[in-house]
Amino acid sequence: MKFWQALSFTETDQLVDLARSCEAVGFHGALLSDHVVYPETFEPLYPYAEGGRPEFDAETEWPEPWCAISAMATATERLHFSTAVYIAPLRHPLAVAKSLSVTSILSGGRTALGAGVGWLREEFEIFGEDYGTRGRRLDESIEIYRKAWAGETFEHHGRYYDFDRLSMSPAPSRPIPIYIGGQSPPALRRAARNDGWIGTGNAPEEVSGILETLHRERRTAGVSGDFEVILALTTPPDFDLWRRLEDQGVTSMISYPLVYSVGPGASLDVKQRALEQYAEAIIAKY
């Protein structure tokens, strides 16, 4: 089992130091979340909180993920990085492909794209992107990412994006994994056809059904090989449960954002000690 620390909602100027601490105490990776803006008013559609209102607010920091990950990566040697999740359909796929390519190179191949379709309709409207087609546009965008990362001249003529032959340099030196967030049927189908699935907080009784769906969708798509299942549970650590889930295909567990364990506004020292305590109680003993 691998362990990821979610660094979402963390003060931007602490991220590099916290990445070093994550690596030092034994985490496999660190995760960042994504929003570009926070509309003052929005329809309460957040799927992970009762009432549709998220726990974050206008004061929550949302550093641009690939800038932040590049900085953290150059300050570490082994720690892996991903987003959980990056709202890819907000951006043109060529811009996303370029950012990921450079970040992958600077990290020595330790970066993955954790992508999702997003939930904040008003954010899409601000960017002039259609909310209703965001899932289909993500599917098409993934095709473009993989073409761009191959390092060859290519073209694309799709339903939402259309361009003639072009090239993008630099290209990553190794494949960039794509993990998908969300647990709707389309999201699980999308994850099964890529490199992994990232959970956002599940009760244990939900997990077996999700895993069965992922396995079935992979069989239907005729894909095999390594597949990451990066899971966050809503219950306290339970090694016996985790081992049973590992047998079913779970590869990683997520430690929730530090704001949940030490509270908002905690000092860097307090956060670093929380990472040490998690490593001593969980990582070292699993």
* pLDDT score recorded for residue 248: 96
* pLDDT score recorded for residue 50: 83
The vertex-205 CA angle with 201 and 210, nearest 5°, equals 70
Total count of domains within the chain: 1
Task: Give the pLDDT confidence of 236-284 residue by residue, as tens digits.
Answer: 999 999 999 999 999 999 999 999 999 999 999 999 999 999 999 999 9
* pLDDT score recorded for residue 47: 87
- The three-state secondary structure class of 111 is strand
Task: Give the pLDDT confidence of 75-128 residue by residue, as tens digits.
Answer: 999 999 999 999 999 999 999 999 999 999 999 999 999 999 999 999 999 999
Q: Give the range of the structural domain holding residue 23, as residue numbers without chain letter.
A: 2-283
- Cβ count near 151 (within 10 Å): 15
Task: Give the pLDDT confidence of 122-145 residue by residue, as tens digits.
Answer: 999 999 999 999 999 999 999 999
Q: Name which of 156, 119, 158 is nearest 135 in CA terms.
A: 119
Residues 131 and 124: beta-carbon distance below 8 Å: yes
Q: In this structure, what CATH number is given to the domain that contains residue 67?
A: 3.20.20.30
Q: How far apart are CA 139 and CA 144, in angstroms?
A: 9
Q: How far apart are CA 174 and CA 185, in angstroms?
A: 30
Q: How far apart are CA 167 and CA 15, in angstroms?
A: 33
- Cβ count near 58 (within 10 Å): 8
- The three-state secondary structure class of 190 is helix
pTM, to two decimals: 0.96
Q: How far apart are CA 162 and CA 157, in angstroms?
A: 4
Q: Name which of 205, 184, 116, 130 is nearest 161 in CA terms.
A: 130
- Pull the structure tokens for residue 124: 């899409």
Rounded to 5 degrees, what are φ and ψ at 29? -155, 170
Q: How far apart are CA 34 and CA 183, in angstroms?
A: 18
Q: How far apart are CA 116 and CA 110, in angstroms?
A: 20
Q: How far apart are CA 107 and CA 72, in angstroms?
A: 9
Q: Inform me whether the pLDDT recorded for 49 exceeds 90.
A: no
Instruction: Give start and end residues of each alpha helix (H) in the chain.
Output: 15-25, 65-74, 93-106, 121-126, 134-149, 185-192, 204-221, 239-247, 258-262, 268-278
Q: How far apart are CA 154 and CA 148, in angstroms?
A: 7
